[in-house]
A and B are shown apart, each in its own frame.
Chain A
Amino acid sequence: MCATLLLFGCQGEVEEPLRPTGPGPDPMEPPDEIPCGSAGAAITFFERRCATCHQGSRAYPDLTRGGLAALEGLESQGMPGERLLVPGDPEASWLFRKMAHTQGDDGGAGMPLGLDRPVEQLAEIEAWIVEGAPTACDELAPPSIPYDPNALDPDALFTCADPTAPRSSPTRLRRIDAAEFNAVAIGKASTNPLAPPEGTRYSTYANDITIDAPTVGLLLPQFPRATIEWAVADPQGAGARRMYGVGVVGCMANNADPSDDCIDTYVETLLRRGALFRGPTPEEHARLRAFLTDAMAREATESITRRQTLDLVAQAARLSPGALFRPELGESPDGRRRLTDDELALALGHVISANPPGLPIPNDPSGTISPEDPDADNLAGGRLNRVAAAAADGSIGDPAVRVALLRHYAGGVVAERRPDLSTRGNDNPARGEYWLNSNLLGFFREWLDYGDANVVFKQDPAATSSFEDQDIGPSFSELRSSENGSEGTLVNQLDDLIARVVIETDAGGGDVFETLMTTTEWHLPSNLGAGSTTPCTTDADCGSGQTCTHTMYCTGSTRRKHYWKQAVFGITENVGVLREDRWVSMDPARRMGVLTHPAWLAAHGGNFEDDASLVERGAWIRTHLFCQSFGDLSDVQGLVAMLPPQPTDGSPLLSARQRVVQATEDPATENAQSCYGCHQYMNSLGYAFELYNHAGFEREWDHSGAPDGTTVIDNLPDPDLNRAYASPMELVQAIATSPYARRGFVRHAFRYFMGRDEVMADGCTLAEMEDALNRTGSFLSMLEALISSETFEYRHEGGQ
C-alpha cells in the first residue's frame, strides 16, 4: 500500500533523517557491462541508489565508493552492537538486513525508503557480501552521484571565507520558457510547449533543457498567429506594436519591390526586437536577409502573398537557435569570462520580467497604458527599454546601474493603474495597488507553488466547512476563473498580498520573510461585485428567477457567481468593491501568513476533502523551507485510492488525518513502518494544516470529530522548532523566526533567479544575500546583492 501512498520515490539513509535525491541515471538500470563482478555491481548500486543521501557526514553510513571500503568496522547507530557489514555473512550484516527487510520491528524502516519489498538487486548485494564484500575495482568508471543542493551543509554553505575570491557561474544556453515565448508572441500562442520539463526545479533552469521533435511540432501550430505583427501592416487590427510607427513592417508589406534599406531595417528590427533581443551578428543578419529575398523571389511564380512571405521570415527568426536559446557564454578579453553587455541585459531582464529587453509595446490607441508604467516615458523603446539602453551604452556592466534598473522595474504601489495588468484591467479597483514585475512575482508563485490553485479540481470545495450547505459552488468556480477580469482570481489574491508585503517591507515596514509567514492583512475578492440594489428578506421579495441571498439583496444567476466569493477565506461579512475595502484584517486565530492562504492550501491540496492533502503540504514545507528533499513530486498516483476506505460497519467515519496515520504510522498496518520512513518527514508538518480542507476552507467538523490542527514536530533541522504546536498559526509564527527556514528562502531565491542549483562556491554570494536580507528585511535588497555579484556577471566553462 505505502509504495503508492507515498508521494515520493524515497531514497534515504539507514538511520539518520532523510536527505535529498536528484536526477541521474536510473539506478534500476545499471550499464550493460560492469567490471569486477559482484564488487562492481555493488559499488554501482550503492552509488546510484543510495549515495545521493549517504555520502560524507550527511547521512549515516557513507555509502560512496570510499565509504563502502570503511563499512566493515562500523555499527548501526540505531541498533548499537549490530555491525553494518560482516564480510561473508549477509545475515549478520545490518546493511543487508535493512535491505532485505528483515531488520525486525525495532529496526526502523527498510531500505531504500519507500519500498515495501527488497530491491531486485538484493541478490547481487548478498553475493557481494558472501564473496567478502570487496571494494577494489580499478576498472570501474568514476563515481557519478547525482547532485542535490539540499545535501549541502547550510552553515558551511553560508560561509564566506574570502569575499575577494573570484566568483562565477557555469556558461549555458538557456532555452526560453513558456512565459517568454508567450510575451514575444503577444499572448497569441495557445498553450505552448515550453513549460519546464518534468522534474525541473524552477522554470528558469536550463540544465539539459532543449527542444525535441514533439516540441518543435507543438511550436509550429502557434504560427502565424504568433508572428502576425511582423507580417501585417495593420496597426489597429493586428494587435500591433510600436514599430509600425516607423514603418518597418509597412515598408515591406506595402511595397512589391522594397528598397535595400527597407529590407535591412526590417531584418534588423525583426531580429533585434522580435527574436534575438540583442544585436544580431552581421552573419545572422545576412542569412535572414537572404532567406527573405529568396522568399520574395518565389512570390510571383508560386502565388505567394507578401504577407505569407513575411510570416515565413518572422517564423524563421522566431525559431532560430538564437531566438530560442539565450546565450550566457561570455567573452574573456581580460582572462576572465564576463557576460557580454547584451547577455547581461538578457539575464537581468529575465530576473525582472518575462518580457525581453526592447520587446515592442502594443500600440495604445485607447490610451490605457498606465502612466505609472516604468516604460511609459519611452513607449517606442519597448519593454525594459532602459535595460536595452544600458546594454547599448555599456553601462550595464556597472553593478550600480543594474541595481538601479532592478529598482526601476521591480514594481511599486500605484495611484491608479497597475502596469502589470492587461489594458483591460489595469485600472481595476478589484486588484491591489501593489504590484511586482512578472518574474519577481513569478518567483513567489513558483517557490510557494500556488499558481495552480485556480485549476486543481476540487470536488465539493466547501465540504466540512461552515459553508458546506451554502451555494458556494458558482462563486468558488468564478473566483478561480477570471484572470485579469473584473475580479482577481484566488491566485491573484495571494499575488496581491505578496506584492504588498514585498513593497512595504522594502520601504522599511518590517522583514519580508517574517511578514510573508505571518501577515494578516489580506487582499480579498469582493462579493458585491455584481450587485443588485433590491433589498430583500426572503425570496418572495425578489423577482422571477432571483433569490434573496445572505447579503439581503436579490440576485440572479450572474450574481450567484459572486456572493460567496469571500467564503473560502472564512469571511461571512460583505467585502466591498472599493480598493480599500478589499484589504481585510484576518482573525489571527484562524488565518495567518501565506501558508494558511486558500491559494496555497488549494494548490497543495487534493481533489477531495478527505484526500491526503496534509502529505502534500508537509512535503512542501520540508523541501521549500528547510531544503530537505525526498525525490521528485511527480508520483502522486493513487493518493486517494490508497488511503484506507471509510469504515462501512457503522463505526465512526475517519478524517483524512486519521486515515493517513492508519496507512503510514499504525504498526497494525502492513508496511506502515516502511511508509513512515518517508512520511515522518511530511506528516507532522502537514497535520497542522488539517484545520483546512482540500480547497482551503476552514473546517468546522472533520467526520466524526472536531478539526485537529495540533502537531508534534521532532525532526526539523532547526532544533528550536521541534516541539508541540496547538495550531498552524503557532507553527507559521515559529517558522517565521527560524534562521534555518529563512536560509531556505534565500537559497530558493538564488535558484530561481540564477536558474541553477547553488554550490559551495556560491557561499559568499549567498552570505551577501542573507546579510542584505537580515540588514534591511527587503527582498529587493537581497536581489540587489545577487545581481551585483560576480556570480551573476561572470562565467566559467561548466555547461548547463
Chain B
Amino acid sequence: MSRISRRRFLGGVAAGAALASLSPFRPARAAGGRACRFLIVLEGNCYEPRCLLAPSARAALDAGAASSPIGESRWWYRSYRHDAPLSIDDGDLAMAPALAGLEEHGVADRATAIFGLSSRVVGGGHTAFHGALSSTRTLSGRAGGQTIDAWLASQATVRGETPFDAVRLNVGGGALTFGACAGAPGLSLPMINDPVAAHGVLYGAFSTGDAQIAYNQQRHLLAFLRDEVQEAIVDDRLDVSAARKLELYGASIDELRLTQTRLEALALSPRPVPEAGLAPIPRLGATLDLATSALIDGLTNVAVVGSGAGGSWPLTYSSVSAVGRHDMHHGSAGNPTLRQNILDITRLQIREIARVARRLADEPEPGGEGSMLDHTIVVFIGDNGEQHHSTASEFPVLLIGGGAVLQPGGRTLIYPGLGSGGHRQVSNLWNTLGYAAGTDLDDFGGEEGTLRRAFGPLGELLA
C-alpha cells in the first residue's frame, strides 16, 4: 500500500491551495479543443465514497484533511477539514476498493476520482431522481429543472449532425424510466430499460426483420401524421392560437422525420442485438456497449446509462447476493457481508465502465487527434449521494477520458467540505462539462443565492 507522509500531505495541501488560487470561477478554456461526446453513468442506489478511495487519498485524509482517520467509514462528508482542493496523484488510483477495473482495461491513468462535491439542493433520500443530473429538486416526481444531458444535447456544438440529440438507457424494470432525465422543469425524458428495444430504436434503420419493419412503419406513420396536420389546419373555424398549436405539432413531427433522414444518411452496419434477460451486471455491460456503439457510430454525442436509476431500484445481483440491491443497503449497517456485497457490485460496475472506456480509447478520433476517449468524458455518479438514505452532502464521482480538454487523470481530487469556503458542488461539475463542450456554462442548476457556493466549472479539472 502506498503511504503518504506528513510532509507530502502538506505538499498536497499546498498544491491544492495553489490549485484553488488558479481556479477562479471562469477559467480560460484550454486551447486543446473540446469534448465531443459525453457518457454519463448513473447508479440508482448510491455508490459509496469509500469505493473510490485510493490508499494515497486515504492517507491524505488521515494525515489531517479529515478530522479523524477514515477507518472503516463508508462516507465521511462531515470530516473534511481542509479549505482548498487536494490533488493526489500517487499512481495508486486503481488500488481503490472498486477501481481495479481501471487497471484491467488500461484506463487508470485517464481516470480521476472526485470527492467532496455536494448537492444539497436535491434533497437526498433514496434517490434525488432528476436532481442528480439537474442540480434541482424533484418534487412529487416532477423534475425541477433540465438535466445536464439534455443541456448538452441541446448544444449545436455537441449534437452536430447526429440523428439523436441523446440516448438514454437504463437497467431497470418496466419499459421506460422517467425519473432521472428531464428536458425542462416538469418534462421528464424516458430512459429505455430494455436493451433489445433500445437497439431497435438506434439501429432499426439498418437492421432486418422486426426492427426494420418497426422503423419503416414509423416512417409511414410520421408522413401520415404530417399530412393530417396539414388537413386539420385548414379548418376555417380555427383562430390563431388553435392554428398555432397544430403548426407546432406539425413541426414536432418534422423534427422526428429529420432524425430519420439523418439516420438513413449514415448507412451503418447494425451492431449485434443485445441478449435478452441478462442479469444486472451483464445487462449493464450490454447497455453500456450499446450506448458506446451509438457514440462510436455517430448516432449521438450524449448518452446516459442508468443502473436502477430514477427510482427503478429493485435489482438483484444474484451472482453477488440473493438480497436485492435496495434491501442490501437497508440491511448493511449491521451486516458486513452486505457492505462487502455493495462494494463488490460497484467494483463490477466500474469494470464494465472501464471496459467501454477502453473501447473508446481504441477508436481513433474521426478527423481529429488522439482517440475517441480523449474527446469523450465518461462520468460515473450516484443519483442520490453518499449513502442510500442520503443527505446529498457528497456525491463521489469517477471521471474517465476527456484528455483533450481535461487535465491528466490517474489522480484523486478532494474538495473541501460543506463548511469551507472552498467547497464545490455537483453543479460545478456540470458547469465543467459545459466548458468542455465549448460553452461558458457558469450557473447550471437551481441553486440560488447562498445555496450556490460558486459559479463556474471545477477549474482543477480543466486543462
The residues of A with any CB-CB pair to B shorter than 8 Å are: 1-4, 116, 171-173, 175, 190-191, 193, 195, 197-198, 208-218, 220-221, 225, 283, 287, 291, 294-295, 302-304, 308, 311-312, 315-316, 319-322, 324-325, 327, 329-331, 452, 455-457, 459, 603, 607, 634-642, 797-800
Contact = CB atoms under 8 A, between A and B. Distances in A.
A191 B176 contact: yes
B278 interface: no
Nearest to A215: B252
B256 A213 contact: yes
Nearest to B216: A302
A1 B450 contact: yes
Contact of B238 (A173, A303, A636): A173
Contacts of A315: 221
B343 interface: no
A172 B227 contact: no
Given A191-B178, A637-B451, A312 B221 contact: yes
B454 to A, nearest CB: 15
A316 B216 contact: no
Contacts of B256: 213, 216-217, 220
Interface in B233-254: 235, 237-242, 244-246, 248-249, 251-253
B183 interface: yes
What 8 A-B pairs are tightest by C-beta distance, nearest first?
A: A799-B241, A452-B140, A210-B245, A321-B232, A213-B252, A4-B449, A213-B255, A329-B237
A316 B125 contact: no
A283 B137 CA distance: 48
Contacts of B227: 287
A455 B140 contact: yes
A190 B188 contact: no
A619 B81 CA distance: 40
B225 A316 contact: yes
B139 interface: yes
A642 B121 CA distance: 10
A316 B223 CA distance: 10
Contacts of B137: 636-637, 639
Contact of B451 (A327, A329, A607, A638): A638
A619 to B, nearest CB: 14
Contact of A218 (B174, B189, B242, B446): B189
Nearest to A634: B185
Q: Among B176, B220, B224, which residue has the most Cβ atoms of chain A within 10 A?
A: B224
Contacts of A325: 232, 242, 245-246, 249
B225 A319 contact: yes
Interface in B184-233: 184-190, 192, 213, 216-218, 220-221, 224-225, 227-229, 231-232
Contact of A308 (B123, B140, B213): B213
B120 interface: yes
A190 B174 contact: yes
A316 B224 CA distance: 7
Contacts of A455: 140-141
A330 B237 contact: yes
A4 B246 CA distance: 38
Contact of A638 (B176, B213, B232, B447): B447
B29 interface: no
A129 B298 CA distance: 57
A452 B138 CA distance: 12
Given A195-B186, A198-B186, A221-B175, A800 B241 contact: yes
Contacts of B218: 220
A637 B135 CA distance: 10
B39 to A, nearest CB: 21
A459 B185 CA distance: 24
Interface string B135-157: 01101110010000000000000
15 contacts: A173-B242, A173-B245, A197-B186, A211-B245, A212-B248, A316-B225, A319-B221, A320-B228, A321-B249, A324-B249, A457-B125, A634-B185, A637-B137, A638-B121, A638-B449
A213 B188 CA distance: 13
Interface string B348-390: 0000000000000000000000000000000000000000010
A635 B446 CA distance: 8
Given A213-B255, A214-B187, A319-B221, A456 B249 contact: no
A211 B240 CA distance: 16
B325 interface: no
A201 B98 CA distance: 48
Tell me the interface secondary structure of chain A in the complex: loop
Interface in B304-336: none
Contacts of B217: 304, 308, 311-312
B448 interface: yes
Interface string B159-174: 0000000000000001
Given A302-B213, A641-B120, A642-B451, A190 B248 contact: no
A193 B142 CA distance: 11
B244 A214 contact: no
B123 A640 contact: yes
A173 B176 CA distance: 29
B137 to A, nearest CB: 6
Contacts of A173: 238, 242, 245-246
Contacts of A212: 248, 252
B240 A799 contact: yes
A190 B175 contact: yes
A228 to B, nearest CB: 13
A1 B189 contact: no
B123 A457 contact: yes
A211 B241 contact: no
A509 B450 CA distance: 53
B143 to A, nearest CB: 10
A195 B141 CA distance: 12
B450 to A, nearest CB: 6
Given A193-B188, A319-B221, A637 B239 contact: no
Contact of B246 (A294, A321, A635): A321
B178 A198 contact: no
A461 to B, nearest CB: 12
A193 to B, nearest CB: 7
Nearest to B143: A198
A261 B18 CA distance: 82
B423 interface: no
B389 A637 contact: no
B185 A1 contact: no
B245 A329 contact: no
Given A329-B237, A455-B140, A638-B449, A210 B249 contact: yes
Contacts of B228: 287, 316, 320-322
A799 B245 CA distance: 11
Contacts of B244: 208, 210
Contact of A456 (B140, B231, B450): B140
Contacts of A321: 228-229, 232, 246, 249
Given A191-B188, A198-B184, A637-B144, 10 more contacts: A210-B248, A287-B231, A302-B216, A319-B221, A321-B246, A325-B249, A329-B238, A452-B139, A642-B451, A799-B240
- Report which residue of B175, B178, B221, B450 has the largest number of chain A beta carbons within 10 angstroms of its beta carbon: B221
Interface string B245-270: 11011011101100000000000000
B223 to A, nearest CB: 9
